[in-house]
Amino acid sequence: MNLIDSVHERALQQPERIAFEFLGKQTSYGEFDGAVARFAYALQEHGVKRGDHVALLVGNTPHFLVTMYAAWRIGAVVVPVNPIYTANEIAYIVQNSDATVMVALDQLFPLFQQRQVLFPKVETLIVCETDGASTKQCTQLEDRAYFFNDLMKMDGAVTELVDVDKDETAVILYTSGTSGQPKGAMLTHENVYSNARDIGVYLKMIPEDRVIATLPIFHVFALTVVVNAPLLKGATIILVPKFSPKEIFRIIREEKATVFAGVPTMYNFLYQYEEGTKEDYESIRLSISGGASLPVALLHNFEKKFDTRISEGYGLSEASPVTCFNPIDRERVPGSIGLSIVNVENKVVDHAGNEVPKGEVGELIVRGPNVMKGYYKMPEETAIALRDGWLYTGDMAREDEDGYFYIVDRKKDMIIVGGFNVYPREVEEVLYEHPEVVECAVIGVPDEDFGEQVQAYVVVKQGSDLNEEDLLAYCQQHLVKYKVPSVIHFSEELPKNATGKILRRSLRDRVVKRIEALREKRK
């Protein structure tokens, strides 16, 4: 069994059940399966073959779901791309992935004009009509450029499902790239199916669930938790093109949504939204957090305000992504990423790969049917990440006596001050406890005397008169001296990626450039 078969069978058994909603329009499983069959035919007619790579730049729209399942139906590989990336970022991923077909929103018309330069390997461009003015511009396009809606009118359908091998690549997901260029994690059909199946069971998803998909579905967290797992269970996905607290509360209230998945930043915005009430959130039976560590203070504040419980988990692109989750039917441990999900094993090891005693910090490694088969065209990086059947995550963690895991921080984010290890998250947890702090990020920057120093960036509540001196005094009360930030920067907002994860690296690069500029002036 795989995702293609399961969704097709659902359509045959329960064709009237609603698969997804988008901007008020409902699409049943039967209609969805029909659209997939027609678009699969169109792809075949335009030369797409088994194993070909299809780049997908369409955001949270039905085009994404139809194209992905249509590509899989004929054995093609999907390469999801963030459509709001810069031209250079998009070009790198499309080129590196060897995509020969690109399905993209009409709003990307400026990119299409540079198609021969940016995407010389792309033989076929399929434009998805979403905006009248942009669509009109796209009518100027020539050289194997087609409109999605026109292709859907072709007289034909792929009714037979290709018998894909479980080890064939289904998706190439490009990581955010903590260093250097993004790497394309190759996830097989077994990887994506097993993780959707196992997390659906773990979270007790049922056909009656109505799952909000406001996380970007080109990202692995959303792809599995709010797309593939619900479809596998016969639930309904509510596609939301863009996150806003006001819109989310409206959808929950009017659509009686039952599952919400978000990153900590989203929960923070919902919590800070003054008009949001407990009644607005009452239909939600399951709140899921992932993508980054959820500050304990935010978790408690959110749960108290909305009389709910947030279940935090952990995953990474290379593991399809989920490896751990807090159980929803028994004790939840705040600050923990929970227990290993079914069929997945997690372990904490030292630099030599030996398991460390419970309670000690080491690198988290993972194995299971969800672990990628490697990075696309990167054998050396693959050999570093995959060793003896285990995926080395690069995250520092510890395990308690009850089997609960705790992410301490990214291995590469660890700060060394005069020989002492400082994990940014422990400093951030203290800052989040301050009632005036809305968001924060802690980084390490070069220091001539101590190797590195701790610096913090914070966003405070509107109208707050909190200053650096007071906040430093607060930190000194709760942290040992070498962990206290040497400088606290106050910002209106912090840089984030597409999922809302705060980008420490961007902040660090900013500070390092400033230091280097000062050094140049002194010369």
Residue 265 above 50 pLDDT?
Answer: yes
Class of domain 414-522: alpha beta
* Residue for token pair 């139809």: 66
Q: So what's the pLDDT on residue 451?
A: 80
Per-residue pLDDT tens digits for 323-337 = 999 999 887 899 999
DSSP line for 196-232: HHHHHHHTT--TT-EEEE-S-TTSHHHIIIIIIHHHH
Quote the tokens at residue 488: 């606290």
Structure confidence at residue 176 as a pLDDT band (50, 70, 90):
low
Extract the tokens encoding 427. 């400093």
- In Å, how far are 209, 241, 270, 286, 352 from 212, measured between CA atoms? 10, 11, 14, 11, 42
SS3 464: coil
For range 296-322, the mean pLDDT? 95
pLDDT above 90: residue 52 = yes
Residue 515 has pLDDT above 80, yes or no: no
Instruction: Indicate the domain borders of the chain.
Output: 3-18+29-164, 414-522
> d(Cα 66, Cα 152) in Å, to the nearest integer?
10
Cα–Cα distance for residue pair 41/185, rounded to 1 Å: 27
Residue 173 Cα distances to 223, 232, 256, 376, angstroms? 10, 20, 32, 9
DSSP line for 16-49: TSEEEEETTEEEEHHHHHHHHHHHHHHHHHTT--
Radius of gyration of the chain from Cα atoms?
23
Say whether 471 sits in a helix, a strand or coil: helix
- pLDDT (0 to 100) of residue 178: 45
Higher pLDDT, 180 or 408: 408
Phi–psi pair at 297, nearest 5 degrees:
-60, -45
* 414-522 has the same fold as 3-18+29-164: no
Q: Distance between CA 486 and CA 488 in Å, rounded?
A: 7
User: Across the strands, what pairs with 470?
Assistant: none
pLDDT above 80: residue 294? yes
Tell me the pLDDT tens digit for each residue of 414-432.
888 877 778 898 899 999 9
**Mean pLDDT value of segment 236-240:** 98
| 367 backbone dihedrals φ, ψ, rounded to 5° | -145, 155
Report d(CA 421, CA 141) in Å as an integer.
56
Predicted local distance difference test score (pLDDT) of residue 180: 60
Given CATH 3.30.70.100, say whether it is the number of domain 3-18+29-164: no
CA gap 222, 352 in Å, rounded: 34
- pLDDT tens digits along 185-224: 999 999 999 999 999 999 999 999 999 999 999 999 999 9
Residue-wise DSSP of 71-103 = HHHTT-EEEE--TTS-HHHHHHHHHHTT-SEEE
> What is the reported pTM?
0.87
452 or 374, which is more confident: 374
Which residue reads 């650096």 in tokens? 468
Mean residue pLDDT across the chain? 93
Confidence of residue 26 (pLDDT cuts 50, 70, 90): very high
Q: What pLDDT is stored for residue 304 in this prediction? A: 96
Res 179 pLDDT > 50: no
Please work out, in degrees rounded to the nearest 5, the angle formed at the alpha carbon of residue 489 by the alpha carbons of 483 and 493: 120
Range with the lowest mean pLDDT among 185-199, 333-347, 354-368, 402-416?
402-416
Residue whose tokens read 């669930």: 209
Confidence of residue 523 (pLDDT cuts 50, 70, 90): low
Query: How far apart (Å, rounded) are the C-alpha atoms in residues 293 and 366?
Result: 18
Q: What CA–CA distance (Å, rounded) separates 75 from 52?
A: 8
Residue with tokens 């806003």: 244
Average pLDDT rounded to a whole number, residues 381-392: 96
- Give the model confidence (pLDDT) of 77-86 as tens digits: 999 999 988 8
Mean pLDDT, residues 391-409? 94
Name the maximum alpha-carbon separation found in the chain.
Answer: 75
Percent of the chain whose pLDDT exceeds 90: 82
Confidence of residue 181 (pLDDT cuts 50, 70, 90): confident
| DSSP states along 234-257 | T-EEEE-SS--HHHHHHHHHHHT-
pLDDT at 410: 79
Residue 508 has a pLDDT of 87
